[in-house]
Amino acid sequence: MYVITGATGNTGHVITEKLLAAGQPVRVIGRSKERLDALVQKGADAFVADVNDPEAMTRAFSGAKAVYAMLPPDFAAKSMRESQDRASNSLAAALERSGVSHAVCLSSIGADKPERVGPVNGLHYFEQKINAIPKLNAFILRPTYFMENNFAQIKPIQSMGTMGGVLKPELPLAQIASRDIGAYAAEALLKLNFTGKSTRELLGQRDVSMKETAAVLGKAIGKPNLGYSQFPAFAVEMAMKQMGLPADYVKLLIEMLESLNSGWMKPLEARSPENTTPTSIEVFATEEFAPQFKGQAAGA
């Protein structure tokens, strides 16, 4: 049996569906039986538990052929870094105590850096905990910036008619559709052809600047002149806090975006067929962004 954490999330649901389609038994972890129900309907076995509970995670992982381990983001936490480390400690303890032989773990580009990469510092710590488990074969995925982050632009497009943020407009930015991470992780879990500890960056289909992103997303939503403006970090910080986002999370996010701008946070691997994934920003724009944009406009 495979065990999937974050099973209702962006990457977890794709992995679960692919493993089930391949005829594999899958245990899905989440905090709500109701939210797991769609996957149960497809044949998964629900395990309702909090990743911060090491005893529950040990029970969930026991007897697993392999585990997909990820740190669920807690945007509302007083200290996001503390909440990330709590989840890392719990998941690592459970992987070790359950004696699972293989795990695919979700990290990020930039997790090589011990500081100044915001939330990705939590993934640096997660990797350290995973790498310290003696008998575990761990394949650590380091995807780049998710295309789904662009959903946060829907409100600014609706209210200001433009996209905007801290990132430089012309910065070449590898962006990946989370479905491609799910597909890659599912394949690794099915093959289980990794031993020891290894990492693999996943860099999306190509690098796409925010200026190009705006043009592609704009075309998909019928706004061909949509642009992107870079705003000073303090202005973005103020706007995000006014939208009700917790100060701690906003501070970390801005640190990460500034590190992308400066080049401190960047992929280590040169682009290659091994780390390039299929979904383009154009496909994401028509299949994911435009429906979400129209849905939010209809619900507004």
Ligand X SMILES: NC(=O)c1ccc[n+]([C@@H]2O[C@H](COP(=O)([O-])OP(=O)(O)OC[C@H]3O[C@@H](n4cnc5c(N)ncnc54)[C@H](OP(=O)(O)O)[C@@H]3O)[C@@H](O)[C@H]2O)c1
Q: Where are the beta strands (DSSP E) in the chain?
A: 2-4, 26-30, 45-48, 66-69, 102-106, 137-143, 145-146, 163-165, 175-176, 197-202, 228-230
CB of 7 to ligand X, least distance (A): 6
The footprint of ligand X on residues 99-118 (CB under 6 A) is 106, 108
CB 241 within 8 A of CB 247: yes
Q: How far is CA 261 from CA 148, 172, 202, in A?
A: 19, 10, 19
Pick between residue 149 and residue 209 the one whose CB is nearest to ligand X. 149
Q: According to the binding rule CB under 6 A, does residue 52 interact with ligand X?
A: yes
CB of 28 to ligand X, least distance (A): 9
CB of 157 to ligand X, least distance (A): 19
Q: Starting at the edge strand that comes first in sequence, how are the strands of the sheet with 66-69 ordered?
A: 45-48, 26-30, 2-4, 66-69, 102-106, 137-143, 197-202
The CA angle 164-144-86, to the nearest 5 degrees, is 100
Q: Which of 88, 197, 193 is nearest to 134 (CA)?
A: 197
Q: According to the binding rule CB under 6 A, does residue 178 interact with ligand X?
A: yes
Pick between residue 148 and residue 223 the one whose CB is nearest to ligand X. 148
Pick between residue 32 and residue 62 the one whose CB is nearest to ligand X. 32
CB 51 within 8 A of CB 31: no
CB of 224 to ligand X, least distance (A): 26
Q: According to the binding rule CB under 6 A, does residue 128 interact with ligand X?
A: no
Query: What residue number has its CB nearest to ligand X?
Result: 9
Residue of the chain from 2, 3, 4, 12 that contacts ligand X (CB under 6 A): 12
The CA angle 183-185-187, to the nearest 5 degrees, is 70
CA distance 291 to 271: 30
The footprint of ligand X on residues 57-86 (CB under 6 A) is 70-73
Pick between residue 172 and residue 222 the one whose CB is nearest to ligand X. 172
Q: Which amino acid is at 283?
A: V
- Report the residue count for the chain: 300
Stretch that binds ligand X, among 7-15, 89-97, 128-136, 153-161 (CB under 6 A): 7-15
Binding-residue pattern over the window 133 to 172 for ligand X, x denoting contact by CB under 6 A: ----------x-xx--x-----------------------
Provide the binding-site residues for ligand X, judged by CB under 6 A: 6-12, 29-32, 35, 50-52, 70-73, 106, 108, 119, 123, 143, 145-146, 149, 178
